[in-house]
Structure 1
Amino acid sequence: MSPLPWFPGKRALAAAALASAVVVTTAQPAAAAPRIVIDTDFPDPDVLAVDGTYYAYATNSGDDNVQVASAGAVDGTWERQGDALPQLGDWARSGLTWAPDVSERPDGSYLLYYTARDTASDRQCIGTAVSDSPAGPFAPVGDGPLVCPAEAGGAIDAASFTDTDGSTYLLYKNDGNAVGADTWLYLQRVSADGLTLEGDPVRLLKQDRPEEGGLIEAPTLVARGGSYVLLYSAGFYGDGSYFTGYATAPALTGPYTKSDTPLLTTEETGIPGPGGQDVVGDGTDDWLVFHGVLSEEPLVRGMYVAPLHWAGDVPSVG
């Protein structure tokens, strides 16, 4: 893969996989630079705040389909809680459960979107599960995946979004790079309980720059500064070419315009491959949560946090 133009190419990381314990840190004032809070494999983090407790969910690792950890503060001590999704839907096979997203539903229960391998199409597809607790266990819902465009490579990287009028949406990426096709970030309206698709999906953004390495993925949507801000990751997730970019739009469905410069790169942060991001907060005291590569062989990606600031609709970290 070609290196990004704004930093040297792939870094050979000498670090081996770190010990299985979560980093033990005490809550402290926000640092200017991103810092690691989980130093073991915890990729594609998604964070939800519930009654003063933060829950982080991550791509499968070891025997856990959906990793979950909790903390009293975003930058505080994180402790693992086990497998949030011990049983996949009957349509899926284990081992490829990626990029979970958890949100609270109007009735106080919790909805999990997860990506897994659909046995019928042999593509990654998005399924649903529900729980009365943010820590799980979540129980799969439905006889099949919610989103599964097999002809477009499948679907991955689900993300929930609630607009200012209370309407709810699902964002995802068609896994086009798996079949030599474009990778689009889609927006799809869903029912209030998150289990039913409504209307047609809308294409928001696709890969169109050389440094993106043929794909964009991991959508995160927020409303800030009178605009919609769509964060995304691009490049190869397993090395220093991975980075976090963003685009802005005056309306929910676009058009979205990519920033001239990315939000996070290996060169600027010193963290190899910063991506798979999530935004925690309401625009007042936001945090950016993301993973970085700790080791390439074996691939280990830890969880980092950093204060996220806004100048209108323009984000900055640190």
Structure 2
Amino acid sequence: MTSNDAPNAFPILASSDLTTWRLTGFVFPEGRTPAWTLTGVNQADFWAPEMHRVRGEFWVCFTARMQDRSLAIGLARSERPDGPFEPDDAPIVTGDVLDSHLLVDAHGAPWLVWKKDDNGVWPRRLVAMLHREPDRVRELFDAGEDQRTAVLTLTLWPWVETLEPMEQFFVLQPLIEAATAHFTELAERLESLRARAGGAEATEIAMISRALRTRIHAQRLSADGRTLEGGPAVLLENDQPWEAHLIEGVWITQEGGRYYLLYAGNDFSTAHYGIGAAVADTPTGPYRKSSEILLSSSAEWWGPGHPSVAIGADGRHHVFLHAFRPGAPGYKAFRALLTAPVRFEGGVVSLDRSVEARSDRPLGGPSRRA
């Protein structure tokens, strides 16, 4: 699980009944983090690990900050699921990337899947532009409260740009919510503004617009997982209204000759976060998205996201995800581990309603919102 800046990174929990859990260790106990990672309170960010069995070994892929504070993806291996894990000497993908996933295809070849964190770029660029050109606020935002949020944020920008990445996230969050609540309109207005602008401003607006698109990449790994082979392929990007400015947290399940892809979309720290589905005939697609969101916020849980899939003791597929208590989303806020049975049939992903999901306790099934 995500550890942020905790001294022991990535606790490993084991259970035989999905109700009683025991701590068996950590992927990276204190003092044993990879040499390339940034450590320390309010400095480190160890995020989104996944453990897979690949060719008799247990591989963990994860996200961490490098010494220059950029996000990168690393791999570690062990002969046992509870470790000890030996990390590679260097990250395998760099350049502000995160949410890695390991897929072993129908031929036994391993693939690495990840997200390019462009959605972490556009808020800073947008506020910097508005700080220089405050008159643009009325051209981009209609609602008075959104305009006031934008004005406050651009006024604070000289201070905000000196903060650490996650501190910037906290301050910019109100503007992010205002922008993503009317994401389609904002994207269209930015493009119209770019067409009217000229020179450096047009270039800057074009960069902001490109960063509003989040892309999911996949690339084949060597047999030993030490290097990447060939070039990366783009699997998905955000193009549905409910996804707003980002998609992330991908998991791919191979079933019945097809590849079923689950992913999270929208802003993780709000109730708009949810889970979508897509399907393809090959690992790299093309993937066809479902026209409807698979899981969204309910009265019991907000912001279901970052799905994973495993086969339970009952022989069924189960989707595992995290979600917030209603009204309590946010960075470092409590997120429960939830599960629900899921079906992959005929190119369609659906919750298995033949099994009663347990939504009355932390490990339960979130309801789908109509």
**TM-score normalised by L of structure 2:** 0.64
Aligned position for 1:114 = 62
Helix, strand or coil at the partner of 2:302? coil
Distance in 2 separating the partners of 1:130 and 1:192: 13
Aligned positions, number: 252
Percent of aligned positions that are identical: 33
Q: Which amino acid aligns with 1:85?
A: F
Alignment of 1:1-318 (within 5 A): 58-60=1-3, 62-73=6-17, 75-86=18-29, 87-94=32-39, 95-106=44-55, 108-120=56-68, 122-142=69-89, 144-148=90-94, 150=95, 154-180=96-122, 181=211, 182-267=213-298, 270-281=300-311, 285-294=316-325, 295-296=328-329, 299-317=333-351, 318=353
Partners of 1:196 and 1:238 in 2: CA distance: 34
Which sections of structure 2, spanning at least 5 residues, go unmatched?
A: 123-210, 354-370
Note the C-alpha offset of 1:186: 0.8
CA offsets per residue over residues 6-63 of structure 1, 9 Å max, x none?
xxxxxxxxxxxxxxxxxxxxxxxxxxxxxxxxxxxxxxxxxxxxxxxxxxxx110543
Q: Deviations over 1:269-292 (max 9, x none)?
A: 742111111010299510111101
* Displacement of 1:251: 2.6
1:118: how far off? 1.2
Question: Which structure has greater strand proportion?
Answer: 1
Tell me the secondary structure at the aligned position of residue 49 of structure 2. strand
Query: Residue 238 of structure 1 contacts residue 299 of structure 1 at CA under 8 Å; is this kept in 2?
Result: no
Unpaired runs of at least 5, structure 1 = 1-57
Cα contact 2:260–2:344 (8 A) shared by 1: no
Range with bigger deviation, 278-287 or 231-240: 278-287
Residues 188-208 of structure 1: CA distance to partner in whole angstroms, max 9, x if unpaired? 100122221111010010111
Letter in 1 for 2:38: R
User: Please, what is the CA RMSD of the aligned residues?
Assistant: 2.0
- Deviation per residue, 1:117-174 (Å, 9 max, x gap): 0113x211101112222112312212x21001x2xxx110111111111111011111
1:282-312 CA deviation, whole Å, 9 max, x = no partner? 9951011110113336611110111112332
CA contact (8 A) 1:224 1:312 kept: no
Whole-Å separation in 2 of the counterparts to 1:205 and 1:186? 8
Inter-partner Cα distance in structure 2 for 1:207 and 1:97: 25
Q: Is the Cα–Cα contact under 8 Å of residues 289 and 305 in structure 1 kept in the other structure?
A: yes
Work out which of the two has the higher radius of gyration on C-alpha atoms and give 1 or 2.
2
After TM superposition, the runs of 4+ consecutive aligned structure 1 residues lying more than 6 A away are none
Secondary structure of the residue aligned to 2:33 is coil
CA distance, structure 2, for counterparts of residue 64 and residue 103 of structure 1: 20
Q: What letter matches 1:213 in structure 2?
A: A
Hey, what's the Cα distance between the residues in 2 that align with 1:167 and 1:130?
17
TM score, norm. by length of structure 1: 0.74
Higher relative contact order (CA 8 A, sep 6+): 1
> Structure 1: which amino acid aligns with 2:294?
L
Distance in 2, matches of 1:71 and 1:164, equals: 28
